[in-house]
Amino acid sequence: MMNFLKPTSLYLLFLIPLLLLLYVLKLRRKTYIVSSSLLWEHAIEDMKANTPFQRFRRNLLLPLQIIFLVLAILALARPFWRGAASVSQNVILIIDGSASMKATDLGKTRFEAAKSAAAKMVDDLSDGGRMMIVEAVSSPRIISDFTSDRLQLRNAISKMRPVDSPTDLNRAIQLASSLAKNERNSEIILLSDGAGRSNLLNPANTSVNAISPVRFVGFGKETVDNVGITVLEIGQSLSDSSEKQVFIALQNFSDVEKQSLLLELYNNENLMAVRELNLLPGERRSVIFDSLEYAEGSIKAVLDVDDDLDVDNYAYHIITEQSGLKTLLVSAGNQFLEEVIKTASARVQLSKETPFFFTRNELRFSIDHSSDYHLYRVFNLEEQAKMFIKKGDLKSICYSVPMTYKGYF
């Protein structure tokens, strides 16, 4: 399919009617009285030729001028063709498997269109040529190693499925380049919709540094009819820690306004809240649902809209019961520090441990009589006194730090 890099230049085609108009304009002549018209027959024929539509007869210059004008305008519009072409001897085929390839703006998904193009490239593989297939997802992976077996390549392509995650085309090209550096007459072909590609294939971009030539084959329209959920987070209100909130971010990726969109919020498939929205073209919107009560399980946000990409109309968050955060404070006693730790989070379960002191003689005695030595510790005297008993020498049952030293001159 032919496209144009500068389609606005096609407006110059309106110069063709202007060119035709110059040919049909009638010349204005002065009137003279003569004695005879015998000698003026050639001039009369010229007058007839200048009447409307008469100059078009047997005039080769006009079609030549029109052809030249059309070719000049097409050159200014810079036409190009997008699609599969003949392939090299050794090909590394990268197929974008990200969520955006699920868009249906081509009548079918972009991923299915890419798979069809990939199958066509397998058929066009030259005799003795080999192909490797790499799937570009968040972590690129090799689907099929270098082989000339067309059936194996087709089967590998047919089994590929897009994923509900973004892709890293940069890493995929770097992987393909490292695999192609030892192959002669190799080429890297990238089948993608170009989402997030920006200047990936720009020679000025040094992050890719591909050794083999990289050819991009695009799928999908430049503007797509899509509204999606970009963020879903749950948390607590800044003003009241006991109040639960759900934060959702939306974006209208299309160039038309979206009206009366319904944003629905579910907890374990039970509807909790609904919000009606209008989004301008390209608008980003943040929505906060507050004063909520939800149980352990799942939070699901649903955007009720019919667009080209269905996967980003849903977002999920799994809620698990948060266990207490057990914290041990070893201190000789610091009430201020204890209160700071307790107020840091409602999940904190604070336990206090007060160090005890023993002398070098006690340590030596516990080692010499380890089989009969017992350590009794009494703690938590402020609330409910508790005690534990440890048997053995002090070196093995506790961690000790030297606190005093003997000095000499």
Residue 201 has pLDDT above 60, yes or no: no
What is the model's pLDDT at position 168?
Answer: 84
Over residues 227-281, the pLDDT tens digits come to 999 999 888 776 666 678 899 999 998 888 888 889 999 998 899 899 999 999 9
Q: Which residues contact 294 (CB under 8 A, 6 or more apart)?
A: 244, 267, 272, 319
Among 299, 298, 277, CA closest to 287: 277
Residue 324 has pLDDT above 70, yes or no: no
- Kindly report the average pLDDT of the chain as a whole number: 80
What is the model's pLDDT at position 323?
Answer: 62
Residue 406 has pLDDT above 70, yes or no: yes
Residue 404 to residues 357, 401, 409: CA-CA distances in angstroms? 11, 9, 17
Residue 85 has pLDDT above 50, yes or no: no
What is the model's pLDDT at position 2?
Answer: 65
Q: How confident is the model at residue 63 (pLDDT cuts 50, 70, 90)?
A: confident
Q: How confident is the model at residue 204 (pLDDT cuts 50, 70, 90)?
A: very low
What is the model's pLDDT at position 153?
Answer: 93
* Strand-pair partners of 292: 244
Residue 155 has pLDDT above 90, yes or no: yes
Q: Is 155 exposed, middle or buried (0-12, 13-18, 19+ CB in 10 A)?
A: exposed
Segments making up each domain of the chain, as ranges = 2-79, 90-218, 227-319, 325-397
Domain 90-218 classified CATH 3.40.50.300? no
Residue 399 has pLDDT above 80, yes or no: no
For residue 326, the Cα-to-chain-centroid distance in whole angstroms is 39
Q: Is 161 exposed, middle or buried (0-12, 13-18, 19+ CB in 10 A)?
A: exposed
Residue 273 dihedral angles phi and psi, to the nearest 5°: -160, 155
Q: How confident is the model at residue 79 (pLDDT cuts 50, 70, 90)?
A: confident
What is the model's pLDDT at position 290?
Answer: 85
User: What kind of architecture, by CATH, is found in domain 227-319?
Assistant: Sandwich (2.60)
Q: What is the mean pLDDT of residues 193-208?
A: 53
Over residues 284-312, the pLDDT tens digits come to 999 999 888 788 888 999 999 888 888 88
What is the model's pLDDT at position 16?
Answer: 82
Secondary structure, 3-state, the chain: CEEECCHHHHHHHHHHHHHHHHHHCCCCCCCCCCCCCHHHHHHHHHHHHCCCCCCCCCCCHHHHHHHHHHHHHHHHHCEEECCCCCCCCEEEEEEECCHHHHCCCCCCCHHHHHHHHHHHHHHCCCCCCEEEEEEECCCCEEEEEEECCHHHHHHHHHCCCCCCCCCCHHHHHHHHHHHHCCCCCEEEEEEECCCCCCCCCCCCCCCCCCCCCEEEEECCCCCCCCEEEEEEEEEECCCCCCCEEEEEEEEECCCCCEEEEEEEEEECCEEEEEEEEEECCCCEEEEEEEEECCCCEEEEEEEECCCCCCHHHEEEEEECCCCCEEEEEECCCCHHHHHHHHHHCCCEEEEEECCCCCCHHHHHHHHHCCCCCEEEEEECCCCCCEEEEEECCHHHHCCCCCCCCCCCC
Over residues 351-367, the pLDDT tens digits come to 666 677 888 888 889 88
Do 90-218 and 227-319 come out as alike in CATH topology? no
Over residues 130-145, the pLDDT tens digits come to 999 999 988 899 999 9
Residue 51 has pLDDT above 60, yes or no: no
Angle at 287 between CA 285 and CA 291, to 5 degrees: 170
